[in-house]
Structure 1
Amino acid sequence: MKLKVTTLSVFLYIGVSAQNIQNNPGSNHGNKFEQMGTILPTPNVYRTASGAPGHAYWQNRADYDISAYLDEDKRNLKGAETITYYNNSPDDLEYIWLQLDENQQSTVKKADFPFSSTLPKSSNDQQLKTTDLPSKDNGYGVKLEKVTDASGNPLQYTVNKTMMRIDLPKGLKKGEKITFKIDWNYNIPNRMKMGGRGGYENFAEDGNDVYTVTQWFPRMCVYSDFHGWQNHQFTGRGEFALVFGNYKVSMNVPADHVIGGTGECKNYEQVLTPEQFSRYKKAQTSAEPVEIVTLDEARKAEKNHSKQRKTWIFEAKDVRDFAWTASRKFIWDGMGVTIPENSNKVIAMSFYPKEAYGLYRKYSTKAVAHTIKTYSEFTIPYPYPVAQSVEAANGMEYPMICFNFGRTEKDGTYSEGTKNGMIGVVIHEVGHNFFPMIINSDERQWSWMDEGLNTFTEYLTEERWDNKFPSKRGPAWTIVDYMKLPKDQLEPIMSNSENIIQFGPNAYSKPATGLNILRETIMGRELFDKAFKTYSKRWAFKHPEPADFFRTMEDASGEDLDWFWRGWFYGTDPVDIAIDKVTVATPDLEAVPKANETTYKVDKPLQNEFEDVSKIKNREDKNITFTVEKDKELQDFYYRYDRGQEKIDNNKEYTIKTENMTSLETKDKDKFRNITAYQIDFSNKGGLVMPLILEFTFEDGSKLRDKSSAQIWRQNEQKVSKTYYFDKKLKSVQLDPMRETADIDTSNNVWNNESGNAETSKFQVFKQKQDGAVRGGASGKVNPMQAAGKK
């Protein structure tokens, strides 16, 4: 789902997050590069240490057969469904859980996660009303009519806010399946006034609605190896944890409505006019979007509200959800797309009212096609037969269909911001087909595994759309303002969806930026892209958890990234690395080396000064015979020396003289004459370690670059130094010149030798004698055997 930045600051932080456990918090080293074994869950037969599914991995499945009736006059949706649930787990289940998401629209059935409130500075007539105590039922939410087994026998159930538990008379044993039925209805909310992901939008000028029917039927919760039942309440923010299955859905709507939905329509020939069906067939292979329902046909339909009915039938395989849209206002276009990686033939389609025609007709379907092709390159080949974009004034995603914004002014013009925003949201929501519709993470628990991974791949796709596309989430510099915030306004990425204040930056931008830093700056594109594809392939149509992602990225790349996951995902420290000082030195080429004289005494016996308990017990044990006692040949000089049987003067002093350096020859002096050394001292002011990326600018205008990996901080996480030797004068040093590490303070990233006369010191340079090295363990000193005159 794509959120507008202006709405991100209204949420209250509750304060539960994953902990960044450190074993050595008082030290200047050993924390940021600590391995994550103390944080990540223990690998098992379901999820391996490599990040891949284990040999005993399992997941349950649910198949749905649903009939829906849209009452446009009452704005009511009536449904009946048959669910077949397969227990593939190793556990016997005495009850099952379902989601009733529409209850969040109810004043009395909702999950009730309130926010703090204060007196307004101003109000309008819609907002100003007396507080209902107790709350009055607003008439929204799911009304359950019947819950039975396959034979029609009533099943006992309990509704807890947005969750429903069905108690099974006989239980559901491992390997078994159960079929049951639910009839229900609910009043469709005006989503433009009440908010939410689904509902209707009314167009007062022509008296028509656009319906986006989402989270609309009782849906199975996930039962998993890592969580058990994921039955956390739906509060409106944290999205969904859902099981895969097959769907057959029939939708009875007014005859002049056009429907788009998850999967393939099985009766287009019956519900479309012959001309429209012919255009649909043409669109399947067309390289340009073909209007299946034209602008003129949509305008005519707006004026004639049919009282007749039609039933549209859709089927979808291996999907985790089903959503649909209906309106007589829709223009509908489509074009064919071939996915190169698997040769899959897909029809990309768009549905939109005339108010969006000027933008959607030109861009939407082509953006859909571009998205599924580009995501297929970076993740897995798009496996479905359909991909659809619906203009609905908001952004939300479902398998094979998504809802986006993008309307023109009444005269057909639009701003550049509206155009780019529309293209970006189409890419983002269509991209959700991959994360989490196929690579099926638990959105309610870990928003970043859905929104963050998708926003990152959206960024890659936007960059392929237009090299000048003004992407705001992905480039490192765009996250700086968020990273600058006080710590009490931040929480780790590894936080539950409901407990985040700055939801957009935390769940979308920061994880997307982190992945881009990994790709461009830390790992490199080749290693990153391989690992990212490996993760996508391993967990397609499965339920990955954060550890599965972290472990796979390391397993497939050979890079130890625990330091990065710790800092970027589990912590709130920003990047702020400073250049503290640059020290300049030139070589003293005329220096005369001095011999190094060392005074020493002959080594004393090397036996331990204190006899430990093991030695004493071994000596007292009559069953132990020591090898040197049995074999007299092993009893050398030092055997006797250690036992006081050899006497030497240990107080006598000896002198050793080392002369392994000599003065430089003329040719060497000429070689080193123009070299200058620069020691650059850095400090880690922000706390988050990063590679040191430097750009050197010289007095002659030339430039050089160097990058040291983040591991340079491993022995001192607060201060490090780097020394460079150049044969030309350095004018300036720039840290992170491309702003690729999200450094929050670039004012301390530059050193300038403005006058060109920086204060310098000298360092002596000598020539190494080739025969000066001592090898093989010999020290050149007098040893005890020599002092005793023994061999």
Structure 2
Amino acid sequence: MFVMKHLSHFSFWMLGILICQVSFAQQSYDPLALFNPFFYTHNGNVYRSADGSPGPQYWQNRADYEIHATLSEKDTTIRGEVTIRYRNNSPDSLGFLWLQLDQNLFSPDSRGAATTPVGGDRFDVKGFKRGGYHIHQVSITYHGKKQTVQPIISDTRMQIRLDQPIRPKGDSITIQVNYDFAIPEYGADRMGRLYTRNGVVYEIAQWYPRMEVYDDVMGWNTLPYMGLGEFYCEYGNFDYYITAPADMIVVGSGDLMNPEQVLTRTEIDRLQKARQSDSTIMIIREDEVGKPDTRPVHTGTLTWHFRMLNTRDVSWAASRAFIWDAARVNLPSGRKAIAMSAYPVESAGRDAYGRSTEYLKHSIEIYSKAYFEYPWNSAVSVAGVALGMEYPGIIFCRHDLHNGQLWDDITHEIGHNWFPMIVGSNERRYMWQDEGFNTFINEYSTRMFNHGEYYNANERLALYMAREMQREQDPLMTPPEAMSLNEYGLYYSKTALALDILRNWVLGPDRFDYAFRTYIQRWAFKHPQPEDFFRTMENAGGEDLGWFWKEWFYTTWTLDQAVDTVVYVNNNPAQGCYITISNLQQMALPVLIQIQESNGQSHFLQLPVEIWQRGGKWTFFYPTTSQVRSVVLDPDDQFPDVNRSNNQWPR
């Protein structure tokens, strides 16, 4: 857990503070704009309660999948058939359905291609002429009657218009789609093909038509997939079957259901040993890669069957080039899971993927203990073409990372299994609600892993963010596709800093941790909106935080705290002094103050944010016994103050 610095000093010296006056002199600070009592624009309802919890009539729809797909190396395609059993739990009749066709991003005429900068970017989707889905047939079965339908395809979305609406509150329909698509070599940094000396590593994601979410806030969520904005998916059970060349290893989300058919007896025995070992066990060693005796058959194809329950997505990878290793994961309830890694020989080594499983295992154990127990039985890290991408039970990390870079990537991507795979927020609209929360918990895992092996206590996120926030043009509530490509990193770092400050200096660790865990537990396997988070933190944490949410998430305001004057009572330091401070910009936070006296005494105190409710200047009495040598605001660089030159008296 994080430690609040100087807590004992704060508790002691707050008792000695005598608030004596307030000045209404202002620069650019307007307290009424910040402390407006009408932050929330609507009340709670039967679906989402005012305290941030799911309401008594909360509902969400459900989609269960059975997928059969074949990897064809001859033309680098996936051919598949998906059967979706869709249950309408909403109070509404549904006269049409919407599905996501995310592979259509790679079609040359997609919106994502049209809006990619001419110089390209990390999510570049241009130049793949074979890209996109080919939908061969769509059929529906409703109340026992099956019929073929003609879908309406618009960019990355597909609509199915129904002759008979699906009735509310539990009615269901089955959808079947036959399709294929060519695998892009670089799939917007989320999937693709990596060519290695022993074969291609295929990372396969967004690989089947899947249901759009219908919820109580937007109805159908049909924002197109354009590259940066990620995914919003319904929960359900998945059975999927991957047919691949027999000499390949396939790893995927969930449990492998037919190991006897696709693995050798040696590999099965080694996996069983790994399930009982906290140290990494080799399943396929480097010197065994590509050898015939690693496969139960040597020609033709094999079909791998995976199952994953109560998840919002699945993904997989396949290659002849895989080294494969694994270790046991120990969960708080006593349940055991397995962590695995699959990577080419180019990525092997103790300073690289040789520790991937160790990183994965410990990250899962740390997050499970701190927040919510990992709900599935396995997780796998794959080295490939994607820089870093997360899916339930499987993560893709770049193949050439080493040491701390690899730790950062693995602990971040598997952290996404909590946000948004367990807490199923809408990534397409609110990128900060998964990337930022995950970046925040990554700080915790890095501090905890191996006695802080990769933790740098001297890093100051606030100093970095002070520079970035001066250049910030778009608030965090900006949807990803509208956010400047030079600023989307703020979804990660600005949100993480906001949560650090909320935890350490506004709520305190105990209240914050309780409220944060309450949010996770309330919304596990559900669809929270931003206000559900805000309201939960306020109600469980016991604080009115409208001012905080406004300045951090809805605006681009900056912080500038300053020390103005120190005046001794009757010009006698032994009688105490009056210290005047200012809030010069529109963001406001509590004030952290370090006071040094000439007699060698040093004192730390914290003033609450409420001192800024009436204006931008504040004077308080401090009981000195000798001359003040210095007054320093935010001495440990906790806040993103944009002008630290005025944080100290004397200047």
TM-score, normalised to structure 1's length? 0.74
CA contact (8 A) 2:28 2:586 kept: no
Could you tell me which residue of structure 1 aligns to residue 149 of structure 2?
Answer: 155
Match of 2:179 in 1: 184
Q: Which amino acid aligns with 2:510?
A: E
Paired amino acid for 2:650:
N
Distance in 2 of aligned mates of 1:139 and 1:296: 36
1:67–1:81 Cα contact (<8 Å) kept: yes
Q: Which amino acid aligns with 2:32?
A: G
Per the TM alignment, residue 524 of structure 1 is displaced from its structure 2 partner at its CA by 1.1
Is the Cα contact below 8 Å between 1:459 and 1:473 reproduced in 2?
no
Answer whether contact 2:245 2:301 (CA < 8 A) is retained: yes
Q: Secondary structure at the match of 2:376?
A: coil
Query: How much has 1:587 moved relative to structure 2?
Result: 6.4
Q: Report what 2:370 is aligned to.
A: 378
Partner of 2:464: 478
Checking the alignment, whether the CA contact within 8 Å between 1:75 and 1:188 is kept in structure 2 is yes
470-479 or 428-437: bigger deviation = 470-479
Q: Is the 8 A contact 2:106 2:113 kept in 1?
A: no
Given the superposition, is the C-alpha separation of residues 110 and 268 from structure 1 closer, same or farther in structure 2, using an over 3 Å criterion? farther
Partner SS state of residue 697, structure 1: strand
Letter matched to residue 189 of structure 1: P
Residue 67 (structure 2) aligns with: 66
Aligned to 1:296: 287
Matched with 1:35 is: 37
Q: For 2:441 and 2:298, how far apart are their aligned partners in 1?
A: 43
- Looking at structure 1, the residues matched to 29 and 645 of structure 2 have their Cα atoms a distance apart, in angstroms, of 28
Equivalent residues, number? 611
Q: 1:164 corresponds to which residue?
A: 158
Judge conservation of contact 1:261–1:322 (CA < 8 Å) in 2: yes
What does residue 21 of structure 1 align with? none
The residue aligned with 2:483 is 500
Candidates 579, 587, 597, aligned match of 1:698:
597
AA at the equivalent of 1:534? T
State the partner residue of 2:16.
Answer: none
Matches within 5 A, 1:310-325: 310-325=302-317
Aligned partners of 1:382 and 1:277: how far apart in 2? 24
Q: Which residue of 2 aligns with 1:201?
A: 194
Specify which of 325, 329, 350 is matched with residue 333 of structure 1.
325
Q: What is aligned with 2:626?
A: 728
Which residue of the other structure, out of 362, 387, 391, is the alignment partner of 2:379?
Answer: 387
Residue 437 of structure 1, aligned match among 421, 437, 441: 421
SS in structure 1 of the partner of residue 361 of structure 2? helix
String of CA shifts for 1:251-295, please: whole Å, max 9, x gaps. Answer: 000111111111100011221111111001111111111111111
Once the two structures are TM-superposed, the CA of residue 700 in structure 1 deviates from its matched residue by 2.9
**Structure 1 partner of 2:392:** 399
Question: Is the 2:284–2:294 contact (alpha carbons within 8 Å) kept by the matching residues of 1?
Answer: no
Query: Given the alignment of the two structures, is residue 540 of structure 1 paired with residue 532 of structure 2, yes or no?
Result: no
Structure 1 match to 2:3: none
Are residues 253 and 473 of structure 1, via their aligned partners in 2, closer, same or farther at CA, if it must alter by over 3 Å? farther
Alignment partner of 1:533: what SS?
Answer: helix
Residue aligning to 1:658? none
Greater shift after overlay, 738-747 or 357-366? 357-366
Amino acid at match of 1:494: M
Deviation track 1:558-579 (CA, whole Å, cap 9, x = no partner) reads: 1121111111111111111111
Q: Determine which of 578, 586, 594 is the counterpart of 2:562.
A: 578
User: Which of the numbers 537, 540, 544 marks the counterpart of 1:560?
Assistant: 544
- Name the counterpart of 1:93: 94
In the aligned structure 2, how far is the partner of 1:149 from the partner of 1:709? 60
| Unaligned 5+ runs, structure 1 | 1-24, 121-126, 128-134, 409-417, 589-673, 754-791
> What SS class does the counterpart of residue 153 from structure 1 fall into?
strand
Q: CA deviation at 1:299?
A: 5.1
Tell me which residue corresponds to 2:20. Answer: none
Instruction: Please state how far the C-alpha of 1:371 moved relative to its aligned partner.
Output: 1.3
Higher RCO structure (Cα 8 Å, ≥6 apart): 2
Pair 1:505–1:472, CA change in 2 (3 A): farther
* Aligned counterpart, 1:680: 579
The AA in structure 2 aligned to 1:423 is W
Residue in 2 that maps onto 1:44: 45
CA contact (8 A) 1:344 1:382 kept: no
- The DSSP-based 3-state class of the residue aligned with 1:65 is strand
Match of 2:34, SS? coil
**How far apart, CA to CA, are the structure 1 residues paired with 2:111 and 2:571?**
76
Distance 1:278 1:220 in 2: 38
What is the distance in 2 between the residues matched to 1:741 and 1:399? Answer: 34
2:33 counterpart SS class: coil
1:262 and 2:245 matched? no
Partner in structure 2 of residue 611 of structure 1: none
The two structures, once aligned, show a CA RMSD in angstroms of 2.5
Distance in 2, matches of 1:195 and 1:31, equals 40
Please give the secondary structure, in 2, of the residue aligned with 1:519.
helix
- In the alignment, the residues of structure 1 paired with residue 530 and residue 74 of structure 2 have an alpha-carbon distance, to the nearest angstrom, of 46
For 2:522 and 2:38, locate their aligned partners in 1 and report how far apart those are by CA, in whole Å: 22
Q: Work out the CA distance in 2 between the residues paired with 1:533 and 1:337.
A: 21
Which amino acid letter does the alignment assign opposite residue 153 of structure 1? Q
Residues 472 and 379 of structure 1, relative CA distance in 2, 3 Å threshold: farther
Question: Which stretch shows the higher mean deviation, 464-473 or 49-58?
Answer: 464-473
Is 2:513 aligned against 1:522?
Answer: no
With 364-373 and 446-455 compared, the bigger mean Cα shift is at: 364-373
1:363 aligns with 2:349: no
Contact 2:185–2:192, Cα closer than 8 Å, also in 1: yes
Q: Is the 8 A contact 1:108 1:136 kept in 2?
A: no
Partner of residue 419 from structure 1, selected from 403, 407, 410: 403
Q: 1:199 to 1:472 in 2, by over 3 A?
A: farther
- Answer whether contact 2:519 2:536 (CA < 8 A) is retained: yes
Instruction: Provide the C-alpha distance between the structure 1 equivalents of 2:347 and 2:176, rounded to a whole number of angstroms.
Output: 40
Decide whether aligned partners of structure 1 residues 307 and 74 sit closer, same or farther in structure 2, where only a CA change above 3 A counts.
Answer: farther
1:497 is aligned with what amino acid? P
Q: What is the DSSP-based 3-state SS (H/G/I as helix, E as strand, rest coil) of the residue aligned with 2:489?
A: helix
Shift of 1:389: 1.1
* Residues 2-55 of structure 1: per-residue CA shift (max 9 Å, x gap): xxxxxxxxxxxxxxxxxxxxxxx9994333122344x44431100011000000
Determine the C-alpha separation between the residues in 1 that align with 2:243 and 2:459.
41
Q: For residues 456 and 513 of structure 1, what CA distance do their matches in structure 2 show?
A: 8
1:218, CA displacement in angstroms? Answer: 0.2
Q: 1:526 to 1:431 in 2, by over 3 A?
A: same
Question: Any unmatched runs of 5+ in structure 2?
Answer: 1-26
